[in-house]
Amino acid sequence: MLQNKNTIEVPKVKFDENENLVIIASPTSSKHDFDFYQGKWKLKNRKLKSRLDNCKDWIEFESTQEMYCILNGIGNVDNYLATFDGEPFEGMSLRLFNPKTKLWTIYWADSNEGVLQPGVVGSFENSIAHFFTKDTFNGKEIIVVFRWDARDKENPIWSQAFSDDKGENWEWNWYMFFSPFDKI
| pLDDT (average), residues 59-84 | 96
pLDDT at 42 exceeding the cut of 90:
yes
Q: Give residue 141's pLDDT.
A: 96
Mean pLDDT, residues 17-25 taken together: 96
Identify any residues that bridge with 140 across adjacent strands, giving them in sequence order: 137
Q: In the predicted model, what is the mean pLDDT of the chain? A: 93
Q: What is the pLDDT of residue 184?
A: 44
Q: How far apart are CA 26 and CA 82, in angstroms?
A: 33
What CA–CA distances, in Å, run from 173 to 38, 76, 77, 133? 25, 25, 23, 16
> Can you tell me the distance from the alpha carbon of 126 to that of 116, in angstroms, rounded to the nearest whole number?
29
- Maximum Cα–Cα distance for the chain, whole Å? 50
> For position 182, what pLDDT does the model report?
73
Average pLDDT for 41-66? 95
Mean pLDDT over 42-61 rounds to 95
- State residue 181's pLDDT score: 83
Instruction: Provide the pLDDT for residue 1.
Output: 39
| Dihedral sign for Cα atoms in the order 156, 101, 106, 17 | positive
For every residue of 7-27, DSSP letters joined together read -SPPPPP-B-TTS-B-----T
Mean pLDDT of 85-111: 96
**Domain boundaries of the chain, sorted by first residue:** 35-68+120-183
Please report, as a single letter, which amino acid is at residue 113: E
Enclosing H/E stretch for 169: none
DSSP helix, strand, coil percent of the chain (3-state; round to 5): 5, 55, 40
Res. 2: pLDDT tops 70: no
- Give the whole-number percent of the chain exceeding pLDDT 70: 96
CB 146 within 8 A of CB 159: yes
